[in-house]
Amino acid sequence: MANHLYDALFGRHEGREADFLILSDGARLSHADFARRAARFAGALMTTGLQPGDRVALQLEKSPDMLAVIAGAIRAGVVFLPLNTAYTAAEVEYFVADAGAKLLLCDGRAEAALAPVAARCGAAIGVLNADGTGGFAEAASVVAPADVRPRTAGDLAALLYTSGTTGRSKGAMMSHGNLLSNAEVLVDFWRFSEDDVLLHALPIFHTHGLFVATNVALLAGAPMIFLPKFDLDTVIGAMPRATTMMGVPTFYTRLLDDARLDRDLVAGMRLFISGSAPLMSETHRQWEARTGHRILERYGMTETNMNTSNPYEGDRRAGTVGLPLPGVELKVCDGEGNAVPQGEIGTIEVRGPNVFKGYWNMPEKTAEELRPDGFFITGDLGCVDADGYVTIVGRGRDLIISGGFNIYPKEVELVLDALPGVLESAVVGAPHPDFGEGVVAVVVPEPGAAPDDQAIRAALGQSLAKFKQPKHIAFRDALPRNTMGKVQKAALREDFKDIFAS
């Protein structure tokens, strides 16, 4: 019987000697070599007693072997749970216990801290280092390659936990069909082929680096320049050998800060894609002026992978995330789930084969966010213009209600970001004794600039109604961000929760 996801992504390349992974040290791994490693890792997983449907948690440094373990898990029918390498032992314990993982794989440097975690959760622990050493790697080198286990489109492939900024982290259940359907659409929509070379500097514990970048390259048969992380010099050195790059906004701003970025450097590139966090319009403008390329921005999330994208051919509009992808239905709704008129702001809901199966062990939460008709309530606020382009204005929890008026932080941020001397900004609400919430603006000045509080207030008064204007402006050297570049507004709300206290 067939294995829905493995056959499409990995099985089709077995025996193929073309390059798959090109590493930072110049080493190359063919598809055939990678498939053999994946088969042995599948065998190693099975020797620990894991059966199809069982869970394995991975807190590993990005490496070819980490990717091969993921491929091995798919081959063996084992559900994999990739974890951010920044998570503490206490956070890992929650994920392992909640998922009921039977095996926890970690870097050797974390074994001492995580061994007690695994023991308390009733899980075995294995070590797999980025350099290919460790007990689990040794076990894989001596076991027989495992046969491909049958899995259907509806079978669970992975659990990805949300960040948990508004409560307990939720495990999004992604099926074989969810992951493959999205990759198939993206390969076609972004025109990927085996002639491409993808510059891959993203982490692979996250949807962006794993289910978008890696799966698209695999399905297209394109090799990847597989870097352990984003390092400016390494990325610049690799770019002449690549044709495409997927990144977060930080990648692009750091490259723009380097004089080596010019049209000659990107002469062989055909596509730059950005996601995981909003890209400022100024970054769009500067990138096009320096390189001649217009960055393609898209929109996705843990529970759905990609939902929308600016077109490959056509108008890539800065400030928007483009149009719904083929097969994805998108609507903007009020609090009751009714569609709002075109151009009005509401909560984005999506439906399609990319939408997850629900939250692991959370049927009540699943029922709250997945409607009976299949539409997923994303929690993102946005609007759709007359041409069908989608604009995200923020998360529902970021909405500020001051004196009974709704304030969308994105509207205020756009005005702030356009002011002289302002590099970027973030706007949050803080408890206010008179208005319920007051607007707080956190401003990051451009290098060498010193924006004046009163000048900013005067400029905002020309563009924004009084109730939208910040009641407090703070200046910081940088905004708090997570590993994917998203501004951590929950942290800012905590920092300023008492700013209006009497």
| Residue-wise pLDDT tens digits, 74-113 | 999 999 999 988 888 988 999 999 999 999 999 999 999 9
Last residue of a domain, one of 116, 133, 151: 151
* CA geometry: angle 252, 230, 259, nearest 5 deg: 45
Residue 333 has pLDDT above 70, yes or no: yes
Domain total of the chain: 2
- What pLDDT sits at residue 502? 61
Among 213-227, 280-294, 435-449, the range with the most confident prediction by mean pLDDT is 213-227
d(CA 54, CA 104): 12
Q: What is the pTM of this model?
A: 0.86
Task: Supply the pLDDT for residue 106.
Answer: 98
- Identify the pLDDT of residue 163: 62
16-41 average pLDDT score: 96
**Cβ proximity of 76 and 45 under 8 Å:** yes
421 belongs to a structural domain: yes
CATH code for the domain of 37? 3.40.50.980
Q: Is the pLDDT of residue 164 over 70?
A: no
Range from 150-159, 402-411, 475-484 that averages highest in pLDDT:
150-159
Average pLDDT over residues 440-447: 95
436-445 sheet: strands from edge to edge: 422-432, 436-445, 472-475
Q: Which residue has the higher pLDDT, 237 or 162?
A: 237
Contact 198, 244 (CB under 8 A): yes
pLDDT of residue 1: 65
Residue 242 pLDDT > 70? yes
* Residue 501 covered by a domain: no
Residue 485 lies in a domain: yes
Structural domain containing residue 458: 399-495
Q: Over 80: is that where the pLDDT of 168 sits? A: no
- The CATH number assigned to the domain holding 489 equals 3.30.300.30
Higher pLDDT residue, 483 or 42? 42
Distance CA 27, CA 21 (A): 8
Query: Residue written as tokens 């941020």?
Result: 413
Distance of CA 247 to the CA centre of its chain: 10
Do 358 and 377 meet the contact criterion of CB atoms below 8 Å apart?
no
- The answer to whether position 405 is within a domain reads yes
DSSP string over 222-248? --EEE-SS--HHHHHHHGGG-SEEEE-
* 249-381-86-365 Cα dihedral, nearest 10 degrees: -160
Decide: residue 342, CB within 10 A, 0-12 exposed, 13-18 middle, 19+ buried.
Answer: exposed
| Short-list 168, 48, 149, 36, CA closest to 104 | 48
Mean pLDDT to the nearest integer, 38-45: 97
- For residue 436, is it left (φ>0), alpha (ψ between -120 and 50) or beta? left
Q: If you average pLDDT over every residue of the chain, what do you get? A: 93
Domain boundary, last residue among 84, 117, 151:
151
pLDDT at 165 over 70: no
- The yes-or-no verdict on residue 439 having pLDDT over 90 is yes
Q: Are 59 and 90 in contact (CB under 8 A)?
A: no
Amino acid in position 440:
V
Spatial contact of 338 and 365, defined as CB atoms under 8 Å apart: no
DSSP H helix total and E strand total for the chain? 16, 24
For residue 166, the model assigns a pLDDT of 43
What average pLDDT score do residues 275-288 get? 88
Residue 221 pLDDT greater than 80, yes or no: yes
Report whether pLDDT(273) > 70.
yes
For the segment 350-362, what is each residue's pLDDT rounded down to a tens digit? 999 999 999 999 9
* Single-letter code of the amino acid located at 191: R
Rounded to whole angstroms, the Cα distance separating 29 from 289 reads: 36
Examine residue 71 and state whether it is found in any structural domain, yes or no: yes
Residue 92 lies in a domain: yes
Mean pLDDT confidence for 150-162: 96
Q: Which of 104, 124, 151 is the last residue of a domain?
A: 151
Average the pLDDT over 16-28 and give the result: 95
Residue 288 lies in a domain: no
CA angle 82, 86, 89 (to 5 degrees): 85
- Percent above pLDDT 90 for the chain: 82
Structural domain contains residue 139 = yes
